[in-house]
Structure 1
């Protein structure tokens, strides 16, 4: 694809190593959003809200269908002969051990979200269910059912499809490690031109706004925790300062590379989160926590396929937009980032091994986590804990810290959870910056470090603008908006991978780099 000489000269002048069309187009679109959000904040909020309502009312069915088809695709691959296919050559072996591999995939995935929503979401659905139920017991089951649907198999299958697609393209077919390469069996040489560039731009935009949304949620929760512990003010100003602080840490981590900063922080996050969960089980009402795992977890397994095609929870279009469609948009927007990151760390594993690690194991961990925290939270509300209900109603981000108040050494517990949030916060940001740089560099795995710094900084700026634009409301709108084009691409990935596996084409030489 020919590029204007001025673009090539500008790229060379800045000593960048990128696909100029993808890099500069993505950067300019993101910068345009930032400026628009700062200068015309009220107009931006109104436009985002209108777009969210329009997509939710007319395209909600498409999101549900896409997610369900991705789940079916993953389960079929896992249970058929194609599960034995290795993501690489016969002599290739995994680069990372199981603990390190799982730590990185989980921390880069939705690690930061499990602390934010583990208490807040189940209690929200308990207090304001989308439909009326016959009894309090059924309302509690419905609340956890909704939560586990949002955080279980349906979510992780999206990451699994994106990751498998890129890993198969890179290690079985000799393609570059970019989002566009996955569609080569469908689009052919068009992936090296304008169409491929557009696919990569969508991947960068989805990743940028998806991670920025999580950074916004993380900043709100950090601010709530610090306010709860120290009395510091709870304000957007403090949250932006926290974003600046975390962005600086993430920048330092991403500069150090995958094998150092990201790898170590991911393991640290998991090794801190597990003791935190165990402490809640042991120090809290243990019988309630363990019973919740079996009752709520068992009910989720029983009903998960009832909600497979279209959410049968009912509720208004507004409720669907605020919850289920928001989650599908969030997971889908993250899919290029987490998928490419998973592909990067999964060479040498079989498809079945990949699916078990990416789909089933994270689902098990998140479900057990939510059953314990959410189950204990529901039990306290049913026994008259109005303080916890008030905390959830007034501010999602403070719910987890109010939940810790009834535990021994609650201050220390809240402090540890803040550290876990920060580590998850940093691993999400630095992993995303690394992946965006891979995509913008046409699959080059060693681009200049200044480019990683640029993307890490831009993530923090976008998160700050989202907070200034009204907090959670514009974040929800952006997830649904950015997820729509990527949902189409996910379906094409399923078709592309299936076609390649059925034909079982041999490993081929690398495709041309868009940098050339």
Structure 2
């Protein structure tokens, strides 16, 4: 039933975007204004609360609880585990925005800062860290933790609804099926947003390398080809296709990062990382709760709220996927692996790519700002064109986006298949193919309805209802963690009592 309802709803939006893209765009734009005006605060408070909850669990006594039985061991090594969760969680976005976002903030600075100044450059890097650091990974980590906890400690199924079982309220339990539908819809649109951006980036890369013109036709063709590849990969299963591709892409991403670090302004990159990390930590709370009630500005809505909605819409997909590969780890190890480590990797990525781009724009007068204003997806390749081995790096970056496209797509089809079949950990190839086609259809329809802007709008809108589901999951997880901790302590006390009785005889 969940498969029919959610797939039918998504299919209607796809057909709407294909046959009447202007109408879809107009409706989405109107809804976006209402959501950002009336519910922007909800996104900010929710995500900050998830960061605080994640850190509390990591440092508290509850961090010793294991996701599974006492004898359960992790299925994957640390490196393979990290590669899979990182590739599924952020891959395409990091490549797309690594240069484009800092340059965008520099040329169109946050409210209260003059664009094109050293202050704007510092703010640009700080907000890049903010948008891609602890906050998004806390969203992923807590949703994944809730799913894994109920799946492996309470022997539940891999469904969002299972994570609300500890709530005592009967009306909430009767709505559990709706939670799964909301998760499926949010996932489908969140993943489609990344696939749409991936198509734009690949198209720009192919233009830089082979001269393929940037066009809607080319982008649709790219989506169709890559969809065929990631559906094939998904059918082969996690242990083969996704694990292999994720590990390969992490090596490629590390090699590209090292090349830019060595060939670019190395000392300036280190200085950028040092300075930005300090300002990020000092401005953490203010950025986390920043709105503009007394200023007519769309900056927060266009950036921070879009990102928070994007992470929320991705969270059921990434959460189920991370839970799928995380059995046997303690809560503390899980939080460190899913929040702290990926955040550090994102900081390094933006320092290398964003720091290099800003340095080249400010000191080298490379027209990266102009490239971003003309087409955001060309920013990375404009930077490469002014560097040694630029053509080679453009080829590698295009390949990187392609493989990230595949890893995100095959992870998504697996998770959508699991959610739409009642938690079946191994959905059929037919189900995976259906979801692969639907996600590709969403990406195509959104591109036709308005490109990147339509993709961002859809993400914010469909993430709103799932935000409330996440809050229920947090309350349920907290209740369950305390119950299990109290039970473990009771069993330990009982064991010690029996040992004392035996030794006293």
Please tell me the TM-score bracket, short chain as reference.
over 0.9
Q: Which runs of no fewer than 5 residues in structure 1 stay unpaired?
A: 1-20, 508-516
Of 244, 248, 255, 1:264 maps to 244
Partner residue in 1 for 2:332:
352
- 1:386 Cα shift? 4.8
Partner residue in 2 for 1:162:
143
Partner deviation per Cα, 1:436-481 (whole Å, 9 max, x = no partner): 0001111111222111111111111111111111101111111111
1:143 aligns with 2:92: no
The answer on whether the counterparts of 1:131 and 1:314 sit within 8 Å (CA) in structure 2 is no
Question: Counterparts of 1:433 and 1:446 in 2: how far apart (Å)?
Answer: 11
Partner residue in 1 for 2:500:
none
Partner residue in 2 for 1:442:
422
Partner residue in 1 for 2:8:
28
1:68 aligns with 2:53: no
The answer on whether the counterparts of 1:103 and 1:267 sit within 8 Å (CA) in structure 2 is yes
Q: Which residues in structure 2 correspond to 1:400-411 (within 5 Å)?
A: 400-411=380-391
The answer on whether the counterparts of 1:171 and 1:347 sit within 8 Å (CA) in structure 2 is yes
1:388 aligns with 2:374: no
- More displaced 10-residue stretch of structure 1: 37-46 or 339-348: 37-46
Partner residue in 2 for 1:181:
162
Partner deviation per Cα, 1:172-231 (whole Å, 9 max, x = no partner): 1111111110001115777775x1211011001011000101000000010001111111
Question: Counterparts of 1:114 and 1:270 in 2: how far apart (Å)?
Answer: 12
Question: Counterparts of 1:208 and 1:243 in 2: how far apart (Å)?
Answer: 15
Partner residue in 2 for 1:6:
none
Partner residue in 1 for 2:23:
43
Give secondary structure in 1 for the equivalent of 2:379.
helix
The answer on whether the counterparts of 1:181 and 1:191 sit within 8 Å (CA) in structure 2 is no
CA distance 1:78–1:69, change in 2 (3 Å): same
The answer on whether the counterparts of 1:112 and 1:424 sit within 8 Å (CA) in structure 2 is yes
Give secondary structure in 2 for the equivalent of 1:471.
helix
1:127 aligns with 2:138: no
Give secondary structure in 2 for the equivalent of 1:117.
helix
Partner residue in 1 for 2:406:
426
- 1:298 Cα shift? 2.2
Q: Which residues in structure 2 correspond to 1:83-482 (within 5 Å)?
A: 83-133=63-113, 136-186=117-167, 195-311=175-291, 316-383=296-363, 385-482=365-462
The answer on whether the counterparts of 1:223 and 1:239 sit within 8 Å (CA) in structure 2 is yes
Give secondary structure in 1 for the equivalent of 2:166.
helix
The answer on whether the counterparts of 1:173 and 1:506 sit within 8 Å (CA) in structure 2 is no
- 1:313 Cα shift? 12
1:488 aligns with 2:444: no
Question: Counterparts of 2:411 and 2:427 in 1: how far apart (Å)?
Answer: 15
The answer on whether the counterparts of 1:180 and 1:191 sit within 8 Å (CA) in structure 2 is no
> Which TM-score applies when normalising by structure 2?
0.93
The answer on whether the counterparts of 1:130 and 1:313 sit within 8 Å (CA) in structure 2 is no
- 1:47 Cα shift? 0.5
Give secondary structure in 1 for the equivalent of 2:154.
coil
Give secondary structure in 2 for the equivalent of 1:88.
coil
- More displaced 10-residue stretch of structure 1: 288-297 or 129-138: 129-138
- 1:312 Cα shift? 7.7
Partner deviation per Cα, 1:102-131 (whole Å, 9 max, x = no partner): 000000001111110011110111111122
The answer on whether the counterparts of 1:202 and 1:486 sit within 8 Å (CA) in structure 2 is yes
Give secondary structure in 2 for the equivalent of 1:174.
coil
- More displaced 10-residue stretch of structure 1: 471-480 or 94-103: 471-480
> Which TM-score applies when normalising by structure 1?
0.91
- 1:288 Cα shift? 1.2
Question: Counterparts of 1:85 and 1:378 in 2: how far apart (Å)?
Answer: 44
Question: Counterparts of 1:129 and 1:203 in 2: how far apart (Å)?
Answer: 34
* Alignment length (residue pairs): 486
1:502 aligns with 2:482: yes
The answer on whether the counterparts of 2:265 and 2:359 sit within 8 Å (CA) in structure 1 is no
Question: Counterparts of 1:402 and 1:86 in 2: how far apart (Å)?
Answer: 47
CA distance 1:197–1:287, change in 2 (3 Å): same
Question: Counterparts of 1:312 and 1:497 in 2: how far apart (Å)?
Answer: 33
Partner deviation per Cα, 1:394-413 (whole Å, 9 max, x = no partner): 11101000111122111111
Cα RMSD after superposing both structures: 1.7
Question: Counterparts of 1:408 and 1:312 in 2: how far apart (Å)?
Answer: 42
Question: Counterparts of 1:369 and 1:141 in 2: how far apart (Å)?
Answer: 16
The answer on whether the counterparts of 1:184 and 1:191 sit within 8 Å (CA) in structure 2 is no
The answer on whether the counterparts of 1:52 and 1:321 sit within 8 Å (CA) in structure 2 is no
CA distance 1:373–1:184, change in 2 (3 Å): same
Partner deviation per Cα, 1:75-117 (whole Å, 9 max, x = no partner): 1101100111100000000000000000000000011111100
